[in-house]
Chain A
Amino acid sequence: MDKFALNQMHLDVLKEVGSIGTSHAVTSLSVILNKKVGMGLPKVSLVDFGEVSNFVGGAESIVAGILVHLSGDINGMMMFLTEEKCCKPLVSELFGGTGMDFSGEGADEAVLSALSEVGNILAGAYLSSFADLIQKKIRPSAPLVCIDMAQAILSVPAIEFGKISDKVLLIESVFESGDMDISGYFLLIPDFESFKTIFSSLGV
């Protein structure tokens, strides 16, 4: 960020935060799916506005974004991103036995509402482990879902960063489940003050 320099230790701490959050979210996903879900090493990067969509396959790739606002001791946003082609397998796998139909008329609405439920589960697991780690209270909002071009979706967190910085800090974790071809990204986007809270609660 511009106002305080992030050193290697800060970056390591943020990686750890991303790693713990993602592993809890992945575990909960794997329990519901009753399948093995793997995760990659989290990456922390400070990128220019023009580069934010590079990691999800470019500005115009179609992705689903699930957005949760954070309030309480930590303010900001959390976003879960997955490619559009992963949405249907993911929600069918999760809700296939519940009689929800993801193929016929009105399927898009059903997918969106199911995705929002996925967001609830993943964000809940991610954030509760994150809150435990820093011993703070974090209240997630109800998830909001949008399927569109990656850059358009990412403009929402990018604008939040734009208010305080000329770069975007991404704490990015990837998960995947091999046999289902599902992969996704978690982005944790605390606001400027909340970064300080995170660092001070972890003694950095």
Chain B
Amino acid sequence: MHQFKPILRQDPPVTSELAKEHGLTAEEFERIHEILGRMPTYTELGIFSVMWSEHCSYKNSILMLKTLPREGGRLLVAAGEENAGLVDIGDGMAVAFKIESHNHPSAVEPYQGAATGVGGILRDIFSMGARPIAALNSLRFGTLEDPHTRYLFKRVVKGIGDYGNSFGVPTVAGEVYFEQCYARNPLVNAMAVGIVEHTGVAKAFAKGTGNSVMIVGSSTGRDGIHGATFASEEISEASEAKRPAVQVGDPFTEKLLLEATLEAIKTGCVVGVQDMGAAGITCSTSEMSAKGESGMIVDLAHVPLRESGMTAYEIMLSESQERMLFIVKKGHESDVNKIFDKWDLHAEVIGTVEHGRDLIVKVDGEVVANIPAETLVLGGGAPVYRRDAKEPEYLKETRSFDTASLKMPHDLTGELRRLLRHPSIASKRWVFEQYDSMVRTNSVVTSDGDAAIVRIKGSRKGLAVKTDCNGRYVYLNPRVGAQIAVAESARNVVCVGATPVAITNCLNFGNPYDPEVYWQFREAVIGIGEACRHFETPVTGGNVSFYNESPESAVYPTPVIGMLGILEDVEKAVSGRITNEGLEVLLLGPLSDDLGGSQYLTDRLGRPVGDCPLLDLNIERTVQQTVLEAIRAGFVAAAHDIADGGLAVALTEMLLSAPGLGISITLDLSPGMRMDGVLFGEAQSRILIAVAREHVEAIKALAKSKGTAVTKMGTVDATGEICVNGGVLRIRVEEARGIYEQAIPEMLKGEL
């Protein structure tokens, strides 16, 4: 039925130079020779090069990742075992969720790079049998004054929107930061969340000698060849030429693939499923074979192709999107065919599960590769390295800064205006309205909350999800900065009323062969581990993206945390927006003037200096517990954590939704405290809550029992104005809203 057949042709001779061009070191090439007991064929060289690339093998990160808490609590599978993490949410249901980077493709082809990033992470979820119910994304760009950044920003947002909207998954939350260091190497991290019955979970392994290996979904073309290798090197001038290594996405086909895959898994005749992402057929066949401790023979002559003259090498390395590998019970192939026919998709038997442990690839019966599957994969024969680490030089300078040397500003209101206008702080409406945030009618809280909430139909439960990481904090203090990323994501989930239960992470760093970068990575992973143990939120899996550097600068180390929380009763959810006058606004957590790492300090000095903001994990935990209990008791009308821009920005944001509201607050500073630090500092573990007057005493008692500090800020009034200490800062809420809402559209004005 297919038009195109692969061709056998004279392959180029395999030499050490060719191996080097494939990104393999001399030692790695030598090791391949040892494993095979002969020179690899050209196709085998291609297979080893992608499987041993950083992207697939995690060779420079796995030793550190193993130090993370990766089991316990509600985890149903240990991290890295399946396509995504799996968390028990009770009633026989589980949540599959994961975050992944698509930085390099997005740097050279932002629309397709971002779109296929979304497509890839969705496949990871539904290949487990789970239906995706929410998508999130975490984005980093350069500054919007730069036309290239505006181009990347607009195309990435459109790519994410077009893919998710068409597929039919609500994009419910995310974050966008703009910092110079990401100018040529944007970060595009996509997260997806799905739900599945425990009994319906599909495994990513090949078992059962004689069972069929089927390729399902799209046909295979030349797009994305060597995408995994491309993702394992730095972005350079030459990267532009690698645009063909970027895959092209088709969300319509993905939607059909979703429905067909879930239908097929339900029949019970599918033994294993793995998505084809990086390294396509190569990765899925070798990983499923290794994990199932089975051999496998595939014949590429049966792979539906979309181009003529493709070689075995090209077919094995293609990263064409919207494909899956199925292991199907012998004799049940036609059941799968029937379902895929219904959805007008390919489903072709390309091989069988065999005795032994070898992955054998043929073209029309002729063997082109024969490799022990185990030797290719992470946890098996893939290389593992411990890299040199060295504390970065720059920390000496950033740490030597003394806040006392910073002059108090004349105009605190002007400083607030400037912060509200900063695109990292300003409203992201321009972004999130391009995403369908409501499809599937489960979105209870989206842009108005610190985290998003999707309800689980047929139950009272809801899931709270959020991604967080302030790369500047991690740059200034990798260990504590990474702890803050975990703490903040947990705090955001708490602020909508959910209990944090588990994380997925996407670790975006520079070149690991640079000892200073590796030190940042090591410290950050240690910090994540410490925080996750403290909050009892194990790591379910995720992704490491190294080589995020561009000619001008290295990116901030950016370990993005995707937090999952559970609400037992979704009706108890709260947002971060105040809708009524008369409510009391309370600060839970310490009043602090710490300016470390703040946007305010960075903007004043034109560069990040000092330490990251203060974090005490014990205080953090008790503040979160206090707020969670207060929300569950029904005392809280709105809750919002103090983050970028500090107390003043958080308070302003809470008042932006209902016209006419205002507040007059009194801050009682102890001697020596700085007013700019109190207003704009970003010390952690602080949450503003709005409560009806009759609940104030109960909250105070609850906080006291937990040892959490409570400070009364003021009462919501109808003045339409925010006023601090009688006027040291004074702004009309309407004006603040205008600045906050218009900042990004104004920076993009006149451009489509």
- Chain B associates with chain A: no
